[in-house]
Amino acid sequence: MSKSTGLPRKRFYRARAHSNPLSDSHFPIPIASHHVDYSLHYPQVFASSDEVQVSKKVQFADIGCGFGGLLISLSALFPETLMIGMELRDKVTEYVKQRISALRVANPGQYQNISVVRTNSMKYIPNYFEKGQLSKMFFLFPDPHFKEKNHRRRVISPHLLDEYAYALGVGGIIYTITDVEELGDWMKACLQSHPMFEALTFEELEADPVVNLLTSATEEGQKVARNGGQTFQAVCRRVQPS
């Protein structure tokens, strides 16, 4: 931990930039969403048996949350909304846990609505969320998997969008961003050709306070901005198929 900030030092939690999402990993997986003990993630929220508290459910999911920058920014913007980061890399997950814990200690009453879990979201989204539970899902700077034979590893794909549509309620929004133009085109094409998603209008994007965080809240987005790079976004709403 840093003596000056009280936060974990990122250099001790460095890991490979990406993991193979198709490989078998060894960590506990809940049988179904109601088996997830969220009191371990949000102890202050679920401290009492009050019905309002017990009925609260996670609404935002940051898929491949990295070092947790987006979660922390969203926590202040939506203090009453429970949100969780889902990360496959064990060292990175541990860093986010320690970061959130330190922020809670340093800021009593704050950051109680965010947490992280180590899991493979490409395989286990239905194990964590009920049908229509989520209102926002984030896929920020995912692994591009450039080789065509590895496109099946991409976290946005037609068959995976079926699962994301299951977890999202009608009107829920998927946010994607990348600095790789080919991947940006791929994600946009997958979303806009799927019958259960439609692109937000320019006016809706302008009015959404979350959109600006896509480039500013994450370590990857900040690096792209420092280097003067270009980003490619696709933001779509979950709809009822016609």
- Is residue 120 annotated as involved in ligand binding? yes
- Is residue 121 annotated as involved in ligand binding? yes
- Is residue 115 annotated as involved in ligand binding? no
Active-site option among 143, 179, 185, 208: 143
- Is residue 219 annotated as involved in ligand binding? yes
- Is residue 220 annotated as involved in ligand binding? yes
Distance CA 52, CA 34 (A): 17
Distances in whole angstroms, Cα of residue 167 to Cα of each of 68, 72, 189: 21, 22, 20
- Is residue 183 annotated as involved in ligand binding? no
Distance CA 21, CA 167 (A): 19
- Is residue 242 annotated as involved in ligand binding? no
- Is residue 212 annotated as involved in ligand binding? no
E strands within the chain?
A: 58-63, 82-87, 114-118, 134-140, 168-178, 197-199, 232-238
Concerning whether 143 is annotated as a catalytic residue, the answer is yes
For residue 9, give every residue at least 6 positions away whose Cβ sits within 8 Å of its Cβ, in sequence order, or none: 1, 2
- Is residue 203 annotated as involved in ligand binding? no
Write out the catalytic residue numbers: 143
Binding site members: 64, 87-88, 120-121, 140, 218-220
Feature table: binding site for S-adenosyl-L-methionine: 64, 87-88, 120-121, 140, 218-220
